[in-house]
Structure 1
Amino acid sequence: MRPDIVTEAGLSTRVNQWWENIPFLTSAVVVVCGIIYLVCLLVGYDSFAEVCFLPSAVISRFQVYRIYTSILFHGSLLHVFFNMMALVPMGSELERIMGSVRLLYVTILLATSNAIFHVFIALLVAYNPIQPYENLMNECAIGFSGVLFSMIVIETSLSGAQSRSVFGLFNVPAKWYPFLLLVVFQLLMQNVSLLGHLCGILSGFAYTYGLFNFLIPRTSFYSSIESTSWLSSCVRRPKFIVCTGGNPSGYIPTHTSENSTSSGILPGNIWRNLSSFMPQREVSAQPNEDSRFPGRGRTLGAGQGQIASDLHSDSNLQARLLDNSSPNHPLDSPTLSTTQQLSGGRHSADNAATATAVVPPHQGAVASEEEIKKLVSMGFDRIQVEVALAAADGDLNVAVEILMSQQD
């Protein structure tokens, strides 16, 4: 017999495959930051005081351009390398959820809010009547790390994880994970902007808890930008992710968004946002240990016909639920029919007996209200969530896969 021939891909092939898996905007940011650093290195440019974020210059000379130039320039090779390596996994995941154009808008929004928080805190510290400290007004900050800390908060919120691992050494509550990273980086590295990273965390929490909802446009806004002629060459690229799906409210699912379009700055919403920080009793029978994200973005291959079929599937789902809500129908009938709807109609009627055997009638009573709210906060419809949990016997991971199959 011929011996088994094991072929391994070369380093260049693996690098190409890794690069091709990075979405359009994330790879563009990596390229732009890398090119800017190389050009500065080749021409010997090191006058970062002209492009960094300097609160005194922004206020006295109104140099607003520093808000955006400061996130593109980096001080050293390790600085740009570690920032870009941290951006690739987080930016790729968020871009697949949001879409390329939406992530660009959110990145600009986060950079702007970081700068506003930075200036506001620097002014408070510099001109407080107790102990004025003006050094923060003259602190020159550059690098993409402020936006990265905002993305860490958003990604942690979207993952739904109750705890996060710190370098594989120990676990901490998910809401305290960004603050712990802030302390670790401040202790281990020199010349790290504590205020810049802290403002990134504050911007991430403000976005996650709906305080920026009034600044987030609807999905039609991003779709109109993607349909313009000047962006057509980018949209045709396979790495570009079109914003045709996701939450109908036009922003990423947050704790207060669900399916409501109301502003997150109302007093009632603010109280609900703050109350979510308080410890709550866990009533779920099974902890959600899966940190995978529900894919909300759609690729270029998703056309108008697919969107129309999804809307038609939703209407059929609600109609079947109403038809099967009478007491004469057994519990397994709506479970079977809605499961077929959630799978996009891919299963034929011949598989009805098999699906009924797999999902016993008594499984729909396992879902708890907290599990339903957890999935609804991720952007899914409540009716679909209840049906998916009933079909999955209360297993959140299986329910997410069922809901995801409908999105596909």
Structure 2
Amino acid sequence: MRRARNMRPNIVSEAGFPTRMSQWWESIPFLTSAVVVVCGVIYLICLLVGYDSFYEVCFLPSAVVSRFQVYRIYTSILFHGSLLHVVFNMMALVPLGSELERIMGSVRLLYVIILVATSNAIFHVLIALLVAHNPLLTYDYLMNECAIGFSGVLFSMIVIETSLSGVQSRSVFGLFNVPAKWYAFFLLVVFQLLMQNVSLLGHLCGILSGFAYTYGLFNFLIPGTSFYSSIESSSWFSSCVRRPKFIVCTGGNPSGYIPTHTSQNSTTSGLLSGNVWRNLSSFMPQREVSAQSTEDSRFPGRGRTLGAVQGQTASHLHSDSNLQARLLEDSSPNSPLDSSTPSNPQRLSEGRHSVDNVATAAAGVPQNQGAAVSEEGIRKLVSMGFDRTQVEVALAAADGDLNVAVEILMSQQG
């Protein structure tokens, strides 16, 4: 037997570095990759032309206050002082920005970046003025500190992402774990000790802006979904929306976008509604809870009470078994529901209505309330790409539990 000399290489395991870099770059969402490109191009231009003073573009509190040079708020976050500075900041931005952009959407994340950059500058100026003009000890250095870099916004994003993730602890460079509410402060201390020429006030103001956002103090500055929808549907923005990496921010649960303590149905902000002091009872914010439902948005579905009486448990099991038997009967090939033709739509609608009634009775809630809950779950699952009819049947079979319904739908597709 002759041995083959030229064997086809394993394309998956032997992919070259350019291919893997291309795949990595394509996995980064639109806005995050755009920020990386803008900051990188600006640094290369400064390097080529020999511009390294940055005095005209950095954030200088004395210039902002005396000459009202507000543009420094936004130019300072785009310029970087060295190659390591821009590389480290962009490497930190890619995972943070990608995660937040997939949750919020591209336009919403852009608005949040502008919001936290502005609030960082306001906190920076206020603290610098307080330190420089207090009656006890004056210190003018902060007013004349020239700060550049995207790291202030990164610290705000760290606080926001930590709040959205809901984790209890975070690892610091894989060395040790710290409570999630102190994670940003630990990073602040570590960077201040390990690196020179690091703006302590700039990073601290980023942390303060992140907590102000998560506690709902900026709710009165955050527009509704229609604002982002109008931007995405505008003609001048259509070329960006058509990009494959662009993430639309419409739809979904607002608690995933704005992690505040206030209710979703409230029209006032956390700052104006008088809930600030109540919000400060817990250091880290929790996700929003709708006034119509007390379930956690991270774990949808109807909870069962532990220690229930045996007769009640037996009735629930009996109703669940009846529901499953009814669904199997309705979904069988010989059932009247499946054998109904388009010429008899009333019979088909009556069959579906009976399944909804059985599912509502099994849930142990009134029919109107069960319909509202199922309609909300249907919208969530349909937005994930499932067919509406299959979603209705899966939700009825899962007793309104979205997690179980998703497993049913995935098993049907598999």
**Do Structure 1 and Structure 2 share a fold, with TM-score over 0.5?**
yes
Match of 1:151 in 2: 157
- Specify the SS of the correspondent of 1:171: strand
Specify every segment of 5 or more residues in structure 2 that has no aligned partner in the other structure, as ranges: 287-297, 301-352
Distance 1:230 1:155, change over 3 A: same
After TM superposition, the score normalised by the length of structure 2 is 0.71
Which SS does the other structure have where 1:225 is aligned? Answer: helix
Matches within 5 A, 1:14-25: 14-25=20-31
Equivalent AA in structure 2 for residue 66 of structure 1: R
Shift of 1:98: 1.3
CA RMSD of aligned residues (A): 3.9
* Residues 1:42 and 1:4: Cα distance change in structure 2 (over 3 Å): closer
Deviation at 1:268?
3.1
Larger radius of gyration: 2
CA shift at 1:262, angstroms? 2.2
Q: Which residue, out of 95, 109, 116, partners 1:110?
A: 116
Superposed, 1:265-344 pairs within 5 Å as 265-266=271-272, 268-277=274-283, 323=357, 329=362, 338=374, 341=378, 343-344=381-382
Deviation at 1:11, TM superposition (A): 0.4
2:60 is aligned with 1:54: yes
Name the CA distance, whole Å, in 2 between partners of 1:404 and 1:253. Answer: 29
Distance 2:269 2:409 in 1: 27
The ranges of structure 1 where at least 4 consecutive aligned residues each deviate by more than 6 angstroms after the TM superposition are 1-4, 319-322, 332-335, 401-405
1: CA distance, partners of 2:238 / 2:285: 48
Taking a change above 3 Å as real, the CA distance of residues 343 and 222 of structure 1, as seen in their structure-2 partners, is closer
- TM-score between both structures, scaled by the size of structure 1: 0.72
1:249/1:259 contact within 8 Å kept? no
Once residues 96 and 209 of structure 2 are traced to their aligned partners in structure 1, the CA distance between those partners, rounded to angstroms, is: 16
Is 1:30 paired with 2:36?
yes
Q: Which has the higher contact order (CA 8 A, sep 6+)?
A: 1
Structure 2: distance between partners of 1:158 and 1:121: 28
- 1:23·1:239 contact (CA, 8 Å) conserved in 2? yes
Q: Which of the residues 235, 240, 243 maps onto 2:246? A: 240
Alignment match of 1:141 (pick from 142, 147, 150): 147
Is the contact made by 2:163 and 2:284 (CA closer than 8 Å) also made in structure 1?
Answer: no
Counterpart residue identity of residue 75, structure 2:
T
The percent identity for this pair of structures is 77
Do the aligned partners of 1:210 and 1:257 also contact (CA within 8 Å) in 2? no
Contact 1:256 1:264 in 2 (8 A): yes
1:10-54 per-position Cα deviation (integer Å, ceiling 9, x unaligned): 100111111111111111110110011001001100121111000
Q: Is the 8 A contact 2:30 2:106 kept in 1?
A: yes
Aligned residues between the structures: 332
Give 1:348 deviation, angstroms: 7.3
Q: Is 1:41 aligned to 2:47, yes or no?
A: yes
Is the contact between residue 247 and residue 259 of structure 1 (CA under 8 Å) also seen in structure 2? no
- Contact 2:168/2:180 (<8 A) preserved: yes
Q: Which has the higher mean CA deviation after the structures are superposed, 175-184 or 251-260? A: 251-260
